[in-house]
Amino acid sequence: MSRKRKSSQQRPEYQISIPERNEIKSFLQDCKAPRNLKHIAEALRVETAAGQDALDKRLKAMLRDGEIIKNRRDGYGLIDKMDLIAGRVIGHHEGYGFLRPDSGDEDIFLPAREMRSLLHGDRAIVRLDGQDRRGRTTGALVEVLDRAHTRIIGRYFHEHHFGYVVPDNKRIHQDIFVPSEGQGKAKSGQFVVVEITRQPDKHTQPVGKIVEILVEDNESNLVADIAVRAYDLPHTWPDSVATEIARLDPEARVDSKDREDFRNLPFVTIDGEDARDFDDAVYCEKTEDGWRLLVAIADVSHYVKMHTALDQEAELRGTSVYFPQRVVPMLPEVLSNELCSLKPAVDRLVLVCELTINQKGKVKHRRFTPGVIRSAARMTYTEVAGIVVDKDKLLQKQYQHLVNQFRDLFELYQLMHARRRKLGLLDFDATESKLQFDELGNIVRIYPMHRNDAHRLIEEFMLAANIAAADFLLENKTPILYRNHEPPGVEKLTEVRKFLGEFGLELAGGDEPEAKHYAELIEKVRERDDAHLIETVLLRSMRLAFYGEQNLGHFGLAFAAYTHFTSPIRRYPDLLVHRAIKYLLTQKKKREFAYTMEDMHRLGESCSMTERRAEEASREVLQRMKCIFMRDKIGEVYTGTVSSVTGFGLFVDLDDVYIEGLVHVTSLPADYYHFDAIGHRLRGERTGRTFRLANRLKVKVVRVDAEDRKIDFELVESKT
């Protein structure tokens, strides 16, 4: 759980000129055998002692990064020339594992004997070692490049004068031995954090000492604590951050003549009932030619300056992480819930995106400006939908001074949304589940969260502001992070087309379909009984979105350029975009922009990683809490929908409790089942009985294991 801080501007600096990495690799490529430091220095004309010291550091850095390898005679060589492969270790709970090569090639099987020296997540170099009985390419460990774990969370056990920790992450297959001097006050059965004092090798298991005992008043809090530590989420504030926070001005003062005063306009925030930070507010008005839309976003960059402790901590966190009863924020609460939160009736500093929109819903002009607003009301999605959609008389009376504003906002939303739909809006409206807790922290029910038109209204305006920011920065050639979403790959498209062919359907667009072709197909099948099945398969053909310094467009949203601008309280990429916009508005003539493309490349990888980490941690907590909720439901029968089909069984999503579990293939009616990955189905060899994605099934809960995050069902009968 190390906390490595690295400023966006920090790079390795050598006081003396030495060869670049590519030059070193080019030299080694031409060599017939590995070369030691002396040979490399002579060949590349590094003659001074200081130069050779610097070259030695660079070689060690390249070694650490897996670009080169060093043999037992201190000779350096390229990995591919020595028939070696570098990659990340993927562990399996049964003791074996795989090496996922950095090159993206096929995974290499690592037998249990090779995994004795490794833990899941380690970076290693292996030598190809033939094939096993199943025809899998196997590897033999050559060297561990980097250890993924210095601390591990798990359950502690004490037996016969010695202790050990069973890792909570089941991919970490080895228990950590804890000698008596490292056991502290831990009791058998408690969750603990163990610091590894000796990594595993061929002969000994890992050894550690207990550094933290997790004790909470309820399971929900304990589950969140486990995830925070298991995913290495930064969750405490360094003293340097507290010092900087203490210096912040609690008043939102208009800091310059360049900041425009919008306090006379009735901006409103529209969020969920349980939202605590409000980073966006909206206002619109009709004009002779169409509309004027103002999207005001909290001016986080005014408070979080580059190279400060606050900035470094925000970069390290990358994003806020949301659990059912807890948030691990990117920024301290004095900023996220106070100074930067657009609360009603108080002055707040903002960065405003002003859009001029014609009567057809097209943005004709954009303008960005620092500003100050005073929100007129903190509204919820439910309230706004009640006012403009349901025509709720009580709500309309309560907010009578804002009713016309809500009607204008809704009219503009409908106009812009209709235009985007004509251009090919791809809208997968997935249902998310939410947990309700009692006063003791116990889950009392799980219910669906349905989006209404107020959600879509805010989404439409945020999309417009994000596009405007991307276009503005792209035109000015300013380094930022784009939100990229690439088209589906060739392999996925081939599978989708084969699947659709079984239904007599086609996906238009040839080898490079666009979002509009997906949208047309979804609209075509909307009234079919199997519409959910087809939509699910289309959705799963999509790639994941990511952050990058190059603009690759956003396939799913059908935008040529897209970025994130509207949530700087909870996303670091948005804060970077704000800095870029303010640089163009106020400082372009004074100095160069502080970030380079190289900085953005590194930040793109970092922010994509922290985003995935947050999603995985949140998903794991939710799954674990759902298991806790289902523990006393064993034997109960539910109806559900097949949400996924694999070679080992069917995952079924229950109707009433929004929980997913597995019907293992061995619990299906007696037969030998063949898995059809393209058709998303299991088919019985003898009976011909078929189970496929979106089938309706009746199942019984037979097993729940919260620590494994698994719920097992048994088939009662097939509904369809």
* CB-based contact 237:376 (threshold 8 Å): no
28 and 142, same structural domain?
Answer: no
* CB-based contact 505:531 (threshold 8 Å): no
The pLDDT of residue 719? 53
The pLDDT of residue 256? 65
pTM over the 0.75 mark: yes
- Residue 566, classified by CB atoms within 10 Å of its CB into exposed (0-12), middle (13-18) or buried (19+), is buried
| Residue 676 maps to a domain | yes
Q: Which residue has the tokens 């060949």?
A: 43
603 and 640, same structural domain?
Answer: no
Rounded CA separation 250/303 (Å): 11
The pLDDT of residue 9? 42
Beta bridge partners of 126: 85, 141
130 and 251, same structural domain?
Answer: no
**Residues 408-443, buried b or exposed e (16+ Cβ, 10 A)?**
bbbebbebbbebbeeeebbeeeeeeeebeeeeeeeb
Rounded to 10°, the helix 21-30/49-64 angle is 80
| Residue 1 maps to a domain | no
Q: How many CB atoms lie within 10 A of CB 136?
A: 15
* CB-based contact 213:241 (threshold 8 Å): no
Which residues constitute the domain of residue 164? 151-215
| Residue 332 maps to a domain | yes
| Residue 278 maps to a domain | yes
Q: Which residue has the tokens 């502690």?
A: 156
285 and 189, same structural domain?
Answer: no
Nearest to 630, CA basis, from 715, 699, 698, 706: 706
pLDDT in tens, 492-502: 999 999 989 88
| Residue 484 maps to a domain | no
184 and 63, same structural domain?
Answer: no
pLDDT at position 11 over 80: no
Mean pLDDT of 450-476: 96
The pLDDT of residue 527? 87
Phi–psi pair at 106, nearest 5 degrees: -60, 145
Cα–Cα distances in Å, from 268 out to 301, 342, 465, 630? 22, 9, 16, 40
DSSP β-ladder status, 363-374 and 260-261: parallel
281 and 200, same structural domain?
Answer: no
428 and 333, same structural domain?
Answer: yes
Last residue of a domain, one of 53, 78, 103: 78
395 and 294, same structural domain?
Answer: yes
600 and 472, same structural domain?
Answer: yes
Last residue of a domain, one of 56, 78, 100: 78
Rounded CA separation 706/697 (Å): 24
Q: Which residue has the tokens 């901006």?
A: 267
The pLDDT of residue 68? 84
Q: Residue 185 sits in a domain of what CATH number?
A: 2.40.50.700
| Residue 529 maps to a domain | no
pLDDT at position 566 over 80: yes
Last residue of a domain, one of 146, 174, 201: 146
Strand, helix or coil for residue 158: strand
Binning pLDDT at 50, 70 and 90, where does residue 304 land? very high
Number of domains in the chain: 5
Rounded CA separation 639/623 (Å): 19
* CB-based contact 699:642 (threshold 8 Å): no
pLDDT at position 316 over 70: yes
Rounded CA separation 23/59 (Å): 12
pLDDT at position 328 over 60: yes
Summary mean pLDDT of the chain: 90
Nearest to 300, CA basis, from 121, 565, 3, 641: 565
Picking from 6-10, 321-325, 372-376, 432-436, which range would have the lowest pLDDT averaged per residue?
6-10
pLDDT in tens, 62-94: 887 778 887 767 888 887 767 788 889 999 999
Residues in the chain: 720
pLDDT in tens, 129-158: 888 888 899 999 988 888 999 999 999 999
570 and 443, same structural domain?
Answer: yes
169 and 142, same structural domain?
Answer: no
358 and 262, same structural domain?
Answer: yes
The pLDDT of residue 429? 65
* CB-based contact 303:330 (threshold 8 Å): no
Rounded CA separation 499/511 (Å): 16
* CB-based contact 167:153 (threshold 8 Å): yes
| Residue 495 maps to a domain | no
Radius of gyration of the chain (CA): 28
* CA triple 619-622-625, angle to 5 deg: 150
| Residue 232 maps to a domain | no
pLDDT at position 13 over 70: no
Q: Residue 701 sits in a domain of what CATH number?
A: 2.40.50.140
Q: How many CA atoms lie within 13 A of 59 on its CB side?
A: 24
* CA triple 678-684-685, angle to 5 deg: 100
